[in-house]
A and B are shown apart, each in its own frame.
Chain A
Amino acid sequence: MPKMKKRERGEAEIPTASMADIAFLLLIFFLVTTTIDVDTGIGMTLPPKLDQEQDPPPVKERNILKILVNAQGQVLLEDKPSALTRIREEVITHLTNNGQNANYSESPDKAVVSIKTDRQTPYDIYIQTLDEVWMGYFSVWDSQARELNYPSYQEYKNSLGPDEENQVKEIYPAQISIAEPDPGSGES
């Protein structure tokens, strides 16, 4: 009997005071080893590889808005020297032309924006050029979305279901062509 009494008195609990510390350590480990920041960037789709014999699809000269960037970061817009900031307006006029001006596109779905660089062009300038072109598209999309009674293109896109067609992109498809660069002038 005295033996039984002793057993009852002895505590059979696991000490849980340090449990929080262990959990904290694990938490800190995961906080350090994981990435939380959302990746942002400019999305593009590369053209699929063409066969050697196959010619690229013909596009009328007036439907292409040509942007050339040289090794010094200077911009040639439709063969005229121009500032980087002008690109956005030009893209918007090009897209919304609808055949009015003979120098710009016939219709929005035929309009193509072509960017060509040198091999020595700084990547930074290229991204700025591409960014301006995309901002041109975004502002056209925004105004088209407003015609459909949405406050912005983003709102319209969010309201679309997974299988619904994007009407804005149907009217103004993003057609940006990235041409292969010229060899350039040797060392920059």
Chain B
Amino acid sequence: MASQHFQKKSANTKQEIPTASLPDIIFMLLIFFMVSTVLRETEVMVQTRLPRAEALTKIEQKRLVSYIYIGPIQRGPNQGQTAVQIDDALIDNQNTISQIMYSKLQQQPRLIVSLRVDESSEMGIVTDVQQELRDAGTLRINYSSRQDREGTVSG
């Protein structure tokens, strides 16, 4: 009697989860990520271990930011040599930086230059790049750095 009763009950109830709306949910997630993020554009060829700092500010508008990477080259024949990278390419001649940055400034007048400099670098190369930036007129810069200690909030 009892087993018969169970069988009858399980046969009548539908045990499937409705999956018809699953694609819609996933599409919602997808659209959220597409709208709220920026595509990773470049492959970084120099090592940039960022220094730690406390007095940090956040860059809210990522679209205004242009990156300059300074650090030792990770791979290839010149491995370990300190180099400057803008966009996808390493800069051979540092005098060209001002021209590159000037053309970027024409496209985006509110340009912020984020300097992602390896903590082992020396100030010499950083100053050279800064002089080039002054020549180009891109005066808003940001020394990219990591949060000093977990939990401290400043800005």
Which residues of A are in contact with B by a Cβ distance under 8 Å? 16-17, 19-20, 22-24, 26-27, 30-31, 33-36, 38-49, 117-124, 126-128, 130-131, 134-135, 137-138, 154, 178, 180-181, 184, 188
Partner of B141, one of A35, A44, A124, A131: A44
Q: Is the CB of B65 within 8 A of A188?
A: no
B145 in contact (CB, < 8 A): yes
- Rounded to whole angstroms, the CA-CA distance of A60 and B114 in the bound complex is 32
B74 in contact (CB, < 8 A): no
Choose, from B50-58, B86-94, B103-111, the stretch at the interface. B50-58
Q: Measured between C-beta atoms, what is the minimum distance from B105 to chain A in Å?
A: 13
6 contacts between A and B (CB under 8 A): A27-B30, A35-B38, A39-B62, A41-B114, A117-B127, A181-B124
B19 in contact (CB, < 8 A): yes
- Rounded to whole angstroms, the CA-CA distance of A118 and B125 in the bound complex is 11
Partner of A41, one of B27, B59, B148: B59
Chain B positions within 8 Å of A23 at CB level: 23, 26-27, 30
Q: Measured between C-beta atoms, what is the minimum distance from A142 to chain B in Å?
A: 10
Q: Is the CB of A36 within 8 A of B141?
A: no
Partner of B127, one of A39, A181, A188: A181
Interface of A is mostly: mixed
Q: Measured between C-beta atoms, what is the minimum distance from A88 to chain B in Å?
A: 10
Q: Is the CB of B123 within 8 A of A121?
A: yes
Q: Is the CB of A128 within 8 A of B127?
A: no
Q: Is the CB of A119 within 8 A of B123?
A: yes
Partner of B123, one of A42, A120, A128: A120
Q: Is the CB of A124 within 8 A of B119?
A: yes
Q: Nearest 4 A-B pairs (CB), nearest first?
A: A134-B55, A119-B124, A34-B37, A23-B26
- Rounded to whole angstroms, the CA-CA distance of A48 and B137 in the bound complex is 7
- Rounded to whole angstroms, the CA-CA distance of A48 and B114 in the bound complex is 18
Q: Is the CB of A138 within 8 A of B55?
A: yes
Q: Measured between C-beta atoms, what is the minimum distance from B123 to chain A in Å?
A: 4
Chain A positions within 8 Å of B130 at CB level: 46, 178
- Rounded to whole angstroms, the CA-CA distance of A134 and B124 in the bound complex is 22
- Rounded to whole angstroms, the CA-CA distance of A180 and B143 in the bound complex is 17
Q: Is the CB of B57 within 8 A of A130?
A: no
- Rounded to whole angstroms, the CA-CA distance of A135 and B153 in the bound complex is 12
B99-137 CB contact bits vs A (8 Å, 1 = yes)? 000000000000010110111111110110011011101
Chain B positions within 8 Å of A47 at CB level: 134, 139
Q: Is the CB of B37 within 8 A of A35?
A: yes
